[in-house]
Amino acid sequence: EPEVTQTPSHQVTQMGQEVILRCVPISNHLYFYWYRQILGQKVEFLVSFYNNEISEKSEIFDDQFSVERPDGSNFTLKIRSTKLEDSAMYFCASRPLGGNRQPQHFGDGTRLSIL
Amino acid sequence: RKEVEQDPGPFNVPEGATVAFNCTYSNSASQSFFWYRQDCRKEPKLLMSVYSSGNEDGRFTAQLNRASQYISLLIRDSKLSDSATYLCVVSYAGGTSYGKLTFGQGTILTVHP
Protein backbone atom coordinates (compact mmCIF):
# COMPACT_ATOMS: atom_id res chain seq x y z
CA GLU A 1 0.00 0.00 0.00
CA PRO A 2 1.43 3.41 -0.94
CA GLU A 3 2.37 5.59 1.99
CA VAL A 4 3.50 9.08 2.91
CA THR A 5 7.17 9.15 3.90
CA GLN A 6 8.91 11.74 6.05
CA THR A 7 12.55 12.49 6.76
CA PRO A 8 14.31 12.76 9.07
CA SER A 9 12.55 10.79 11.77
CA HIS A 10 14.22 12.91 14.45
CA GLN A 11 15.84 16.33 14.12
CA VAL A 12 17.72 18.06 16.92
CA THR A 13 18.48 21.74 16.29
CA GLN A 14 19.79 24.70 18.23
CA MET A 15 17.33 27.52 18.87
CA GLY A 16 17.54 30.16 16.15
CA GLN A 17 18.66 27.72 13.47
CA GLU A 18 16.75 26.93 10.31
CA VAL A 19 15.26 23.50 9.84
CA ILE A 20 13.71 21.80 6.82
CA LEU A 21 11.37 18.85 7.23
CA ARG A 22 10.78 16.72 4.18
CA CYS A 23 7.82 14.71 2.99
CA VAL A 24 7.04 12.58 -0.02
CA PRO A 25 3.25 12.40 -0.38
CA ILE A 26 1.45 9.52 -2.07
CA SER A 27 2.07 9.89 -5.80
CA ASN A 28 -1.46 10.47 -7.11
CA HIS A 29 -2.49 12.76 -4.26
CA LEU A 30 -3.05 16.44 -4.96
CA TYR A 31 -3.73 18.00 -1.56
CA PHE A 32 -0.92 18.27 0.98
CA TYR A 33 -0.93 19.23 4.62
CA TRP A 34 1.33 19.79 7.60
CA TYR A 35 0.19 19.24 11.17
CA ARG A 36 2.04 19.32 14.44
CA GLN A 37 1.53 17.69 17.82
CA ILE A 38 3.22 19.03 20.91
CA LEU A 39 3.88 16.26 23.42
CA GLY A 40 0.72 15.48 25.37
CA GLN A 41 -1.46 17.76 23.26
CA LYS A 42 -3.81 17.33 20.33
CA VAL A 43 -2.86 17.32 16.68
CA GLU A 44 -3.03 20.85 15.22
CA PHE A 45 -3.38 21.98 11.62
CA LEU A 46 -0.59 24.16 10.23
CA VAL A 47 -1.09 24.56 6.48
CA SER A 48 -2.72 23.09 3.40
CA PHE A 49 -1.24 23.23 -0.10
CA TYR A 50 -2.91 22.69 -3.45
CA ASN A 51 -2.03 23.53 -7.03
CA ASN A 52 1.40 24.83 -5.98
CA GLU A 53 0.15 27.35 -3.49
CA ILE A 54 -0.97 27.62 0.10
CA SER A 55 -4.73 27.23 0.31
CA GLU A 56 -5.13 27.75 4.04
CA LYS A 57 -2.93 28.32 7.07
CA SER A 58 -3.46 28.48 10.81
CA GLU A 59 -2.40 31.15 13.28
CA ILE A 60 0.57 28.95 14.20
CA PHE A 61 1.90 29.22 10.63
CA ASP A 62 3.50 32.65 10.95
CA ASP A 63 6.26 34.33 8.90
CA GLN A 64 8.84 31.90 10.28
CA PHE A 65 7.18 29.01 8.46
CA SER A 66 7.13 28.28 4.75
CA VAL A 67 6.23 25.35 2.54
CA GLU A 68 7.44 24.37 -0.87
CA ARG A 69 6.97 21.68 -3.46
CA PRO A 70 10.33 21.97 -5.21
CA ASP A 71 9.73 19.08 -7.62
CA GLY A 72 7.02 16.61 -8.48
CA SER A 73 7.47 14.47 -5.40
CA ASN A 74 8.78 16.37 -2.37
CA PHE A 75 6.83 18.67 -0.05
CA THR A 76 8.87 20.55 2.53
CA LEU A 77 8.22 22.58 5.65
CA LYS A 78 10.85 25.15 6.60
CA ILE A 79 11.14 26.92 9.92
CA ARG A 80 13.50 29.86 9.49
CA SER A 81 14.51 30.65 13.06
CA THR A 82 13.42 27.92 15.44
CA LYS A 83 12.11 28.59 18.93
CA LEU A 84 11.91 26.27 21.92
CA GLU A 85 8.14 26.09 21.50
CA ASP A 86 8.56 24.65 18.00
CA SER A 87 9.56 21.37 19.62
CA ALA A 88 6.88 18.91 18.52
CA MET A 89 6.05 16.01 16.26
CA TYR A 90 5.40 17.25 12.72
CA PHE A 91 3.16 15.18 10.48
CA CYS A 92 2.75 15.49 6.74
CA ALA A 93 -0.50 14.29 5.18
CA SER A 94 -1.94 14.00 1.70
CA ARG A 95 -5.20 13.10 0.03
CA PRO A 96 -6.45 12.59 -3.51
CA LEU A 97 -9.13 14.46 -5.44
CA GLY A 98 -12.68 13.52 -4.54
CA GLY A 99 -13.77 16.04 -1.94
CA ASN A 100 -13.21 16.24 1.76
CA ARG A 101 -14.77 12.82 2.30
CA GLN A 102 -11.48 11.43 1.08
CA PRO A 103 -9.47 10.75 4.23
CA GLN A 104 -5.99 12.14 4.67
CA HIS A 105 -3.08 9.75 4.94
CA PHE A 106 -0.34 10.64 7.40
CA GLY A 107 3.39 10.07 7.34
CA ASP A 108 5.06 8.67 10.44
CA GLY A 109 6.26 12.10 11.47
CA THR A 110 9.44 14.00 12.28
CA ARG A 111 10.22 14.61 15.91
CA LEU A 112 11.74 18.09 16.15
CA SER A 113 13.68 18.91 19.30
CA ILE A 114 14.87 22.49 19.79
CA LEU A 115 17.68 22.98 22.32
CA ARG B 1 -16.32 25.84 23.40
CA LYS B 2 -13.73 23.51 21.91
CA GLU B 3 -14.15 22.77 18.20
CA VAL B 4 -14.03 19.03 18.76
CA GLU B 5 -14.50 17.66 22.23
CA GLN B 6 -13.92 14.12 23.50
CA ASP B 7 -13.91 12.45 26.86
CA PRO B 8 -10.15 11.94 27.41
CA GLY B 9 -10.69 8.81 29.50
CA PRO B 10 -8.71 6.73 30.13
CA PHE B 11 -10.99 3.78 29.53
CA ASN B 12 -9.66 0.54 30.99
CA VAL B 13 -11.62 -2.49 29.84
CA PRO B 14 -11.07 -6.27 29.82
CA GLU B 15 -10.67 -8.21 26.62
CA GLY B 16 -14.03 -8.97 25.06
CA ALA B 17 -15.73 -5.88 26.46
CA THR B 18 -17.78 -3.41 24.48
CA VAL B 19 -16.73 0.21 24.80
CA ALA B 20 -18.22 3.41 23.39
CA PHE B 21 -16.61 6.79 22.78
CA ASN B 22 -18.43 10.05 22.26
CA CYS B 23 -17.47 13.24 20.53
CA THR B 24 -19.14 16.60 19.93
CA TYR B 25 -18.23 19.28 17.42
CA SER B 26 -19.10 22.96 17.40
CA ASN B 27 -19.05 23.95 13.71
CA SER B 28 -22.44 23.03 12.26
CA ALA B 29 -21.02 23.46 8.74
CA SER B 30 -18.63 20.53 9.27
CA GLN B 31 -18.90 18.12 6.40
CA SER B 32 -16.76 15.07 6.90
CA PHE B 33 -16.12 13.01 9.98
CA PHE B 34 -13.53 10.40 10.82
CA TRP B 35 -12.18 8.27 13.60
CA TYR B 36 -8.41 7.86 13.62
CA ARG B 37 -6.37 5.87 16.08
CA GLN B 38 -2.97 6.89 17.34
CA ASP B 39 -0.50 4.60 19.04
CA CYS B 40 2.00 6.12 21.44
CA ARG B 41 4.22 8.64 19.60
CA LYS B 42 3.06 7.41 16.20
CA GLU B 43 1.11 8.99 13.38
CA PRO B 44 -2.70 9.09 13.29
CA LYS B 45 -4.06 6.20 11.26
CA LEU B 46 -7.52 6.17 9.73
CA LEU B 47 -9.85 3.79 11.50
CA MET B 48 -13.01 4.67 9.63
CA SER B 49 -14.97 7.46 8.00
CA VAL B 50 -18.33 8.28 9.58
CA TYR B 51 -21.39 8.53 7.38
CA SER B 52 -24.75 10.09 8.13
CA SER B 53 -26.54 6.77 8.07
CA GLY B 54 -24.03 5.19 10.41
CA ASN B 55 -21.56 2.56 9.30
CA GLU B 56 -19.89 -0.57 10.51
CA ASP B 57 -16.50 -2.11 9.86
CA GLY B 58 -16.11 -5.44 11.57
CA ARG B 59 -16.14 -4.84 15.32
CA PHE B 60 -16.32 -1.06 14.90
CA THR B 61 -19.53 0.94 14.48
CA ALA B 62 -19.66 4.69 13.96
CA GLN B 63 -22.69 6.93 14.27
CA LEU B 64 -23.28 10.57 13.35
CA ASN B 65 -26.05 12.82 14.61
CA ARG B 66 -25.85 16.10 12.70
CA ALA B 67 -28.72 17.69 14.61
CA SER B 68 -26.92 17.17 17.92
CA GLN B 69 -23.44 17.59 16.38
CA TYR B 70 -22.44 14.32 17.96
CA ILE B 71 -20.32 11.40 16.76
CA SER B 72 -19.80 8.05 18.42
CA LEU B 73 -17.61 4.99 18.04
CA LEU B 74 -18.53 1.58 19.41
CA ILE B 75 -15.94 -1.18 19.71
CA ARG B 76 -17.26 -4.68 20.31
CA ASP B 77 -15.26 -7.68 21.54
CA SER B 78 -12.23 -5.56 22.47
CA LYS B 79 -8.78 -6.97 21.70
CA LEU B 80 -5.49 -6.17 23.39
CA SER B 81 -4.40 -4.63 20.08
CA ASP B 82 -7.22 -2.08 20.32
CA SER B 83 -5.28 -0.27 23.05
CA ALA B 84 -4.56 3.17 21.61
CA THR B 85 -5.77 6.76 21.61
CA TYR B 86 -8.89 7.26 19.51
CA LEU B 87 -9.13 10.60 17.74
CA CYS B 88 -12.40 12.18 16.67
CA VAL B 89 -11.67 14.23 13.57
CA VAL B 90 -13.83 16.71 11.69
CA SER B 91 -13.31 18.39 8.34
CA TYR B 92 -14.92 21.64 7.23
CA ALA B 93 -14.84 22.76 3.63
CA GLY B 94 -16.15 26.18 2.96
CA GLY B 95 -14.81 29.42 1.54
CA THR B 96 -11.09 28.92 1.10
CA SER B 97 -10.87 25.83 3.25
CA TYR B 98 -9.41 22.80 1.53
CA GLY B 99 -10.43 20.22 4.06
CA LYS B 100 -8.16 20.89 7.01
CA LEU B 101 -8.74 18.39 9.76
CA THR B 102 -9.69 19.47 13.26
CA PHE B 103 -8.79 16.93 15.93
CA GLY B 104 -10.22 16.21 19.33
CA GLN B 105 -7.74 15.67 22.13
CA GLY B 106 -8.29 11.91 21.93
CA THR B 107 -9.71 9.20 24.17
CA ILE B 108 -7.23 6.75 25.66
CA LEU B 109 -8.26 3.10 25.63
CA THR B 110 -6.42 0.33 27.43
CA VAL B 111 -7.61 -3.23 26.96
CA HIS B 112 -6.26 -5.65 29.57
CA PRO B 113 -6.24 -9.46 29.67
> A42 and B34 in contact by Cβ < 8 A?
no
* pLDDT over 80 (residue A105): yes
**Average pLDDT of the segment spanning A8-30:** 95
A32-49: pLDDT as tens digits: 999 999 999 999 999 999
- Rounded to whole angstroms, the Cα distance separating B19 from B12 reads 9
Tell me which of A30-44, A81-95, B1-15 is least confident: B1-15
> B43 and A108 in contact by Cβ < 8 A?
yes
**CB-CB neighbors (< 8 A) of B2 in chain A:** none
Burial grade of A2 (CB within 10 A; 0-12, 13-18, 19 or more): exposed
**Residue A15 near residue A84, CB atoms below 8 Å:** yes
> A41 and B49 in contact by Cβ < 8 A?
no
The mean predicted confidence, pLDDT, of chain A is: 94
**CB-CB neighbors (< 8 A) of B104 in chain A:** 42
Higher pLDDT, A14 or A100: A14
* Pairs of residues, one from chain A and one from chain B, whose beta carbons lie less than 8 Å apart: 65
B28-86: pLDDT as tens digits: 887 899 999 999 989 999 999 998 888 999 999 999 999 999 999 999 999 999 999 99
* pLDDT over 80 (residue B96): no
Can you state the percent helix, strand and coil of chain B, rounding each to 5?
5, 50, 45
Closest-CA residue of chain A to B5: A42
**CB-CB neighbors (< 8 A) of A91 in chain B:** 43-44
Identify the pLDDT of residue B95. 60
Identify the pLDDT of residue B93. 67
- Rounded to whole angstroms, the Cα distance separating A53 from A30 reads 11
Residue B100 has its nearest CB partner, among A56, A91, A103, at A56
* pLDDT over 70 (residue B13): yes
